[in-house]
Amino acid sequence: MLFPIAAGNTAILKGSETCPRTVWGLCSVFQEAGLPAGVLNLVVHEPANAAAITEMIIADPNIRKINFTGSTMVGRIISKLAGEHLKPLLLELGGKASAIVWEDADLDNAAVQCALGAFLNSGQICMSTERILVHKKIRAEFEKKFVGAVDSIFGGADKDAPILISGIAVEKNKRLIRNALENGASLLYGDAAAEESTKTRMRPVIVSGVKESMDIYQVETFGPSVSLFEVETEEEALRIANDTEYGLTAAVFTEDLRRGLRLAREIESGAVHINSMTVHDESALPHGGAKASGYGRFNASYGLGEWVKTKTITYKY
């Protein structure tokens, strides 16, 4: 909502029906700071009215462009509606980010960055690390360090289990993990069957030995679970990293910059971060996805450029 306003537009923010008070809080800050009335407008509604209100907003002739951040499934619906009204779109959708940990990586750094990338905000970030592809030669050592990092940062019986947006999100993650375990995967850390103090809480889970036939291989978990894979060649790592409909962000851990850049060029995503976590978004850099992760760019001059129109005027004298 910031870039449309910064480019001179007024904006309507349709708040999430699952957490309307959060966006209300954000909007109230701008109001208290003195933003003129009518510049930033908030619409909230009951979940049952989501489809009707979304269609009404998109169809309104006063709406000139749509920016949607959310799931790829809903993004497809909004794209169809926008197409019917010839409205341009800016989309930031789902992700299935991979982190490649090579044999020459700084494993202490990789372990911490992968732990943060996978479990910050309970894994509810579109850039969250969902797959970790570890070189065969350092797999055992990395797993030990990774488990230690996750337990140190997010674990411990004395800490409350992280909170997810809803009980549905918790059950989705548990269902995906159950499917993987029932089909041959193993549990490296955590207990997906654990009952927490509320139905909306779930502790981090690390699953190893995930195969292509398992649901968790392709489905975006958007929660506190991550899958580990063993790889031996760059070709194998790239095949798994690119074997997804998503392409938002990725990470590569290596001390060889040439290898890092080589892998980064071949990963099909909007961003690749070498020796840092997949969750990386800053205002000075363009941010956006490829494939089913959306299109268009946020932030920097790219983000402002999305919210202005180019007009050509000539004058003959």
Active site residues: 92, 126
CA distance 265 to 291: 15
Alpha carbon distances (Å) from 115 to 11, 25, 53, 205, 272: 36, 29, 38, 11, 17
Task: List Cβ neighbours of 89 (8 Å cut-off, separation of 6 or more).
Answer: 65, 66, 67, 68, 78, 79, 82, 295, 296
Q: What DSSP letter does each residue of 258-308 carry, written as one string?
A: HHHHHHHHHS-SSEEEETS-S----TTS-B--SGGGEES-BSHHHHHHTT-
Q: Which of 186, 105, 176, 114 is nearest to 150 (CA)?
A: 114
State both tokens at 108.
Answer: 């202490």
Backbone angles phi, psi at 70, to 5 degrees: 170, -155
225-231 and 11-14 as β-strands: parallel, antiparallel, unpaired?
unpaired
98, two tokens: 């991979």
The set of residues, in sequence order, having a beta carbon less than 8 Å from that of 141 and lying 6+ positions away, is: 107
Residues 6+ apart with CB under 8 A from 36: none
